[in-house]
Chain A
Amino acid sequence: MHPARVILLAGLALAPGAWFTTTRRPVAAQQARDSGPIEITTDTPEYCLYLRDRVHDLVHLAASPPPKEVTDLSTEGQRMCDQGQTRGGIMRLRRALILMIHNSGTTQR
């Protein structure tokens, strides 16, 4: 086969892949510029308090004392939230919550 034809065929074979890879973006429409970013409410000090309360509720409802790791994570999370490290505090409180749920055998989906 003539080299030019080989190149042409290779180019044609690549074209669909190139189109698929470059154009198939998962986003259908861009956000309007004037609307501005929307606040996520689970990164706020209020949510920190909400999570702390949920952990405390589970601890009080539990038949046995919570594991030390739960207590440590809960304390550390609350301390970080108080110091303004909201996301780090929330992450620890979430881990404490998950540990409590698994420890008490509660299934919360």
Chain B
Amino acid sequence: MIDRTLFRSAGFRFGAIYALLLAISATALALFLWWATAGLLDRQTEAAINADAQDLSERWAEGGLASLIVTIEGRLAQNIDDDAIYFLADRSMRRVAGNLERWPSHVTTPGTLYELQVMRAGMRSLANVQRFDLPGGFHLLIGRDVQAMAQLRRLLTDALLWAIVVVVLMATVGALVVRNLFRRTLANISATATAIAAGDFARRVKLTGRGDEFDQIAEVINDMLERIGRLMDGVRQVSNAIAHDLRTPITRARTRLEDAALHADTPEALRAAIERATTDLDGIVAVFQALLRISEIEAGSRRSSFTRIDIAPLLAQVEELYGPLAEERGISLVARTAAEVPAYGDKALIQQAVANLLDNAVKFSLPGGTVRLNASVAGRVEVAVSDQGPGIPASERVKATDRFYRGETARSTPGSGLGLSLVAAVAHLHGGELRLEDNAPGLRAVLVLPIPEEAEARPAALQPKHDFI
């Protein structure tokens, strides 16, 4: 009993398709060979008979019956190939000229080719003949001996039949090879998927090294697995970071409330303890809000609100906002922006990103330092915020945009480690990037955005939505 799953197998289908295509190709080739050999000979015979008929009809028209008889006898006398057949008959079908013993009774319709068995010097032979009716009740039969062609046709038929047997064998063997090849290739991918499903995340699809389509698929799958691995690491890192960074304020709030419950003697002392705990919890809420905002930005839903904007006024507002704070800390805030900075995006998000950069710059600058805000348009929009603080070592700049990342130099400074993550998310959403450079001394953070024309032409599908965690 044939296993029904065999017909549902893709390997079987590929093998069958291969066999079928091979059979169709071989059939096409056989048909062409037949058409170009046996068919050509048939067509040549028919053409020769028609040309002969045309010529003889002209003889008839020029000289009548006598001329036609002389022409036929002359042609037979000079027929070196010994293949011509003529029969000129009167209205009673009696022979007037030609080389046939009698008129073949089955040749009845003019203009149609008939097969005729003839006897040549005691040997059977085959001819193709055609009938033409002449004025005055005369009938003309013209033909050619095709015995040699018939033998060639038989040889060709035998050869093609043997070729069919060979093709069927080749198609069967080829189909089995294709099926096994397909199964072996899929087995490699399937084994990898099974291992990963069982928890072996380090397993990868093996490459054959040939660089073919299967290798390309394997590379794509391996890239996908690498990316999934990185995302899982990121999720794990974020989970750990959330647990670690939020445990301290939550524990602090709990301790304060517990302490107040046990030791607060007056309503004022109790209220003060509750207010401090509330402040701690507000900080936690703010962290969650920042996390949710980054997730929302990375999801790309804000792209629908993108429009052409001029971010020069936004930068002026942010500068105005942070100017007093910088002045209060003895820091000089210097802004130099182009009169018009066109961009394509979400006004509020860009403003928040620049505010985060300025907030960091002011926060990490020492009194007497200078924070610069520059904005320029030259093929792309660049908003740069530079400070003279401790900066970020080159080795840590890649991680600086990870969520909850806090550099060694930032441990003593208040913050959640989400500011640069949000800026990077905004940059990616807009098709740009966040570049962190050494300001010697300090940090130079550059928010790079595409110009409006380029941003508008950028397909939404190419927008990175979850490039990092």
Contacts and interface: CB of A to CB of B under 8 A. Distances in A.
Which of B59, B75, B119 has the most A CB atoms < 10 Å from its CB?
B119
Interface string B89-106: 000000000111110111
B186 interface: no
A38 B143 CA distance: 13
B54 interface: no
Given A26-B46, A38-B116, A87-B82, A14 B28 contact: yes
A7 B21 contact: yes
Contacts of A17: 28, 31, 35
Contact of A38 (B75, B76, B104): B104
B24 A10 contact: yes
A97 B109 contact: no
A38 B102 contact: yes
B120 A95 contact: no
Interface string A40-68: 11111001000100100000000000000
B153 to A, nearest CB: 10
Contacts, number: 124
A101 B78 contact: yes
B74 A109 contact: yes
Contact of A41 (B35, B46, B100): B100
Contacts of B98: 41
A85 to B, nearest CB: 10
A19 to B, nearest CB: 10
Interface in A23-42: 24-32, 35-42
B99 A94 contact: no
Sort chain B's interface into a size bin: 35 or more
Contact of A95 (B28, B80, B128): B80
Contact of A21 (B31, B114, B121): B31
Please report whether the interface of chain B is mostly helix, strand, loop or mixed according to DSSP.
Answer: mixed
A86 interface: yes
Please report whether the interface of chain A is mostly helix, strand, loop or mixed according to DSSP.
Answer: helix
Contacts of B168: none
Contacts of B85: 40
B78 A98 contact: yes
Interface in B104-160: 104-106, 109, 112-121, 124-125, 128
Contacts of B114: 27-29, 31
A14 B31 contact: yes
B258 to A, nearest CB: 70
A7 B20 contact: yes
A70 interface: no
A22 to B, nearest CB: 8
B27 A14 contact: yes
B80 A26 contact: no
A83 interface: no
A73 to B, nearest CB: 12
A86 to B, nearest CB: 6
Instruction: Give 9 closest A-B pairs by Cβ, nearest first.
Output: A42-B99, A27-B115, A39-B101, A37-B117, A43-B121, A26-B113, A28-B112, A37-B119, A108-B74
11 contacts: A11-B24, A14-B24, A14-B31, A17-B31, A21-B34, A37-B117, A37-B118, A40-B100, A40-B120, A41-B98, A108-B70
Interface of A: 3-4, 7, 10-11, 14, 17-18, 20-22, 24-32, 35-44, 47, 51, 54, 86-87, 90-91, 94-95, 97-98, 101, 108-109
